[in-house]
Amino acid sequence: MYQAGWGKQEIIVTHPGYAMHGFGMPHHRATAQRSPLHARALVLGDDASKSLVFCCLDLGYVTWSMRKGVVARLEAELGASFDEAALVLTCTHTHSGPGGCAHEAMYNLVTPGFVPAHLEAVITAAVSAILQAWRSRAATMLGLAQGSFAEQVPVAWNRSLKAWNRNPDVPHYPISQTQCALNRRMDVLNFRRDGELQAMLSLFGVHATCLGSGLHSYDGDNKGYAARQVEQQLEADGIRQPVAIFAQATAGDVSPYYHGPGDLKRRRKLVGEAEYAYAEQNGRRQSERALSLAADGQETALSGHIDAVLTYLDFNAQKADPKFANGEAEAWTSEPCHGVAFIAGTPVDGLGISKPLAAVVSRLAWAVKKYRMDHMDGFPPEEQAYLRRLYAAQGPKAIVMETGRKRVLGQAMKGLRLPDLVDPIIAEMKRLANLGALDKSEMVPTVLPLQIVRIGTLALVCCPGEFTTTAGRRVVQAVEAVLLGQGVEQVLICTYCNEYMGYVTTQEEYQVQAYEGGHTIFGQWTLAAFQTGFERLAGELLREDSRRQHDRQTRPAPVPEDELALRTADGPRH
């Protein structure tokens, strides 16, 4: 028996007209509200007064600025009873939520700019939901139910099958079976009082991209619909103020749309109201599966102490253990880079620049690399070391942006000689660079959070960004190798937690350079570095808190206020 509570608060966004976060399209602007966006929270405490806080936002991403703001207010409200390491801040990854909530420039480019009112709305809603949950704690039974969607249920498809099939540790599927190339299992934590289901947390990986970039309303998409559908059903059953969270597992390569022969033609038939109907139907499939699992009586009761470990690692230069890197003794991450595949977009959910233009940019990218490698001796020693490290890490990526060094196709962003028509994102970067708004700032997060929380016999690995199905499974396996048999019986994964920096693919998937590989910004050994970090962190979780040796102090560096001011939106731009 645990002491648990739950709460929900709407995220009130009052500045329509800014571009939304998700598709990276400047035309994807919010001028209305279709459905409410919420912060939903669960608080779970054990007999030792250790409390886990889990908060899920109807947003596309979680940023350091969000987490920092939430932590500061909870510390002020709750004092020593609040443990930052035991706060999981995650999101549904709806692409129809507000942007402009990051202090780093990259993911604000289409908004355009940092929007303080959006960030404040998110922090206020998250803290309110968490405090509601904290103050409503009462004796609660917690159970874990698990079950899979049948293959014929049209809820999710793999959108990068060629990359999936490169992995040696998965079944290989033909293009007619993309629905099989993913984890179709849903895990549901059920919270019961007096035998009645009153709250739940579902983990199932599928992108919240049922609603395309041609729409102009804030909306929770499939995960938001699923949460409201469960809450409405529980209310109809007589439950007061129920809370249902539909968070993400491994969604990086998983689409809510059919992928296979004729997929794009099928997708283009759904426009406007048909997209909203499709999102609601996809959400209903998730909500009905979660309720059926809660009702079948097969859940496993959870008991035992609550615990958590959190650390931050600088992914500009992380060395991976060779056992996670195919035996490579010098497998390192590098400063972040975005590939041509990133600006080319995904094949159905989020198309980017045209294929002919992508081909031209790709040729330019390879020409830059060839010139550098052929003329390496002409560069200063420091630049030579940087280039060798970069290309070793980034491997087959056609690099369009050296995001860490703020270069586009080898040229500094300030004074960049590249037509704005190549991509609106590049045009905005040029503008900011010429203003001096990027001189000292990171373009993307590079100091990233790794977190593991424990609920009795269950461990939850909390990862930043978007992990493909196989990448996430390998992280879970690395943690299982440490924790199973040490009081932990099962390990699950939750992604989009605590920060957003892009994707994580397997090294094999990365070689294909589909969208996910192009957006795996720290290079081909990114997953191996995460496996290494999470394995070490799992070892710390087994120690008593006073004997743990992981880094608890490192945090992202603050963004210079003068540069942030230059990147702050002052009104909608057209």
What letter does residue 119 receive in the DSSP assignment?
A: H
pLDDT of 571 > 60? The answer is no
Which pLDDT value is given to residue 297? 82
What letter does residue 176 receive in the DSSP assignment?
A: G
Decide if 139 contacts 14 (C-beta within 8 A).
Answer: no
pLDDT of 574 > 60? The answer is no
The three-class DSSP label of residue 520 is coil
pLDDT of 54 > 80? The answer is yes
What confidence tens digit (pLDDT) does each residue in 366-385 have? Answer: 999 999 999 999 999 999 99
Separation in Å, CA 404 to CA 105, 367, 408, 528 = 12, 20, 11, 20
- Alpha helices (H) along 456-571: 469-483, 507-510, 515-518, 526-541, 561-566
pLDDT of 91 > 80? The answer is yes
The three-class DSSP label of residue 271 is coil
**Mean pLDDT (whole number) for 90-100:** 97
β-strands 157-158, 254-255 pairing: antiparallel
Q: How confident is the model at residue 422 (pLDDT cuts 50, 70, 90)?
A: low
pLDDT of 569 > 60? The answer is yes
Which pLDDT value is given to residue 305? 95
Which pLDDT value is given to residue 508? 98
For residues 399 and 523, what is the distance between their CA atoms, to the nearest angstrom?
Answer: 11
**Mean pLDDT (whole number) for 504-514:** 98
The owner of tokens 């491997």 is: 395
Q: Which of 207-211, 426-430, 523-527 has the lowest mean pLDDT?
A: 426-430
The owner of tokens 């700019």 is: 113
User: Phi and psi (nearest 5°) for 555?
Assistant: -145, 160
**Could you tell me how far CA 553 lies from the centroid of its own chain?**
23
Which pLDDT value is given to residue 266? 97
Which pLDDT value is given to residue 187? 98
Determine what percent of the chain is predicted with pLDDT higher than 70.
98
Of 168 and 419, more confident: 168
Decide if 56 contacts 462 (C-beta within 8 A).
Answer: no
**Mean pLDDT (whole number) for 229-243:** 98
**Mean pLDDT (whole number) for 191-201:** 97
What confidence tens digit (pLDDT) does each residue in 61-75 have? Answer: 999 999 999 999 999
The reported pTM is 0.97
**Could you tell me how far CA 531 lies from the centroid of its own chain?**
17
Which pLDDT value is given to residue 419? 74
**Mean pLDDT (whole number) for 111-140:** 96
**Mean pLDDT (whole number) for 291-317:** 96
Q: Read out DSSP for 186-198? A: EEEEEEEETTEEE
**Mean pLDDT (whole number) for 296-320:** 96
User: Phi and psi (nearest 5°) for 471?
Assistant: -60, -45
What letter does residue 315 receive in the DSSP assignment?
A: T
Which pLDDT value is given to residue 415? 86
Which pLDDT value is given to residue 370? 97
Which pLDDT value is given to residue 573? 44
Q: Read out DSSP for 203-269? A: E----B-SS-TT--EE--HHHHHHHHHHHHHHHHTT-SS-EEEEE-SS-TTEESS--STTHHHHHHT
State the average pLDDT for the chain.
Answer: 96
Which pLDDT value is given to residue 464? 98
What confidence tens digit (pLDDT) does each residue in 436-467 have? Answer: 999 999 999 999 999 999 999 999 999 999 99
